[in-house]
Amino acid sequence: MDFVLSEEHQMIRKAAKDFAEQELLPGVIDRDEHQYFPEELIRKMADLGFMGMMVRTEYGGAGLDTLSYVLAMEEISKVDASAAVCMSVNNSLVCWGIQEYGTEEQKQRYLNPLAKGACLGAFLLSEPEAGSDASAQHTTAQDCGDYYLLNGVKNWITNAGIAKVFLVMAQTHPERGSHGINTFIVESDWPGVILGPKENKMGIRGSDTRSVTFQDVKVPKENRIGEDGFGFKFAMRTLEGGRIGIAAQALGIAAGAYERALHYATQRKAFGVPIAQHQAIQFKLADMATRIEAARRLVWKAAWEKDQNRPFGLYSSMAKLYASEVAMWATIEAVQIHGGYGYVKEYHVERMMRDAKITQIYEGTSEIQRLIISRHILQQHG
């Protein structure tokens, strides 16, 4: 793996950085306060190709590699993690899932507008009693011949209030357990699709998170992804790639907090000199820079493995686990370096600290990632 970025990768990183600083930064505190993310910013992200980065050009995407995606994700996340998670779900979960496993008809009908940003997607797996245990699906999809009848509730759905395309996991054959689950493409305006109120979250408050209820929703047979019973495998394979996006988001939050802490430390004076000249602050900055760089290499490694069409599940879990823990730790340190100023909104780091916590929870908690990593290790050892 070459650690020197190509000219194209450097251009993508700069484009994302410029967009984040010029378009996302000015209103980020207000969006966090009022819990919204404006459609015009989504359209601008789409115009730059950020909503379908890894989708092939014949389906309306940018046709870029995973490394390009994580570079952009890091820069967006440095400024606005809410914008980043909106981008991540659309790219890593919805677009990638349809591109890899959808039919040609599904790709033409749904993937093309999703990749172009004409509409957004959401990934509906979690339920009130099916979070860590994703196989315990209580949402049902009854086979009625030409269609499935969908009933159930999904929780913690990112983009739920603004998405037009849902990927929904549901149980069709309870007697088969995880082998009886299917994945369906559901349009959010179909009869029987009911959105819950927006969740009042601690962090990533600009992203739209809700529960979604299905009451006798008729889903055409042609909207099932893959063979009957493929749904659980679809979810697990898609989440492997999704963890790379979340790792990049966590990395960006950590790096953004570090950059703000470094700048503050060179400007703020105590005892007649900038606090960056005090050894206690220097130790913090050194540790932050080191752990963030280690997290960045893990994220790049996972992206590279995926781009080489090699098994990447171990590395995506390692990257997600480590980057999320670094994000939480680094943002706490950034608040500490800022002192009292770190506790107020205008200095941004308190928001970054709140945003960091979710990266340890979604796409599988840190405990789940450790289980996945250990299983990979033991399989390799055996």
Q: Give which of 350, 294, 153, 167 is closest to 242, Cα–Cα.
A: 167
Distance, in Å, from the CA atom of 316 to the CA atom of 237, rounded to the nearest integer, reads 11
**Options 74, 325, 350, 363, the catalytic residue:** 363
* Residues constituting the chain: 382
Q: Does the active-site annotation cover 363?
A: yes
Distance, in Å, from the CA atom of 226 to the CA atom of 244, rounded to the nearest integer, reads 23
Structure tokens at 204: 């990533």
Q: ∠ at Cα 70 (65, 71), nearest 5°?
A: 95
> Could you tell me if 107 and 98 are in contact, meaning their C-beta atoms sit under 8 angstroms apart?
yes
Distance, in Å, from the CA atom of 70 to the CA atom of 64, rounded to the nearest integer, reads 11
Structure tokens at 154: 């999904």
Distance, in Å, from the CA atom of 87 to the CA atom of 161, rounded to the nearest integer, reads 15
> Could you tell me if 42 and 90 are in contact, meaning their C-beta atoms sit under 8 angstroms apart?
no
Contacts of 74 (CB under 8 A, 6+ apart): 13, 16, 248, 249, 251, 252, 255, 296, 299
Structure tokens at 122: 């959401």
Structure tokens at 292: 């963030």
- Residues serving a catalytic function are 363
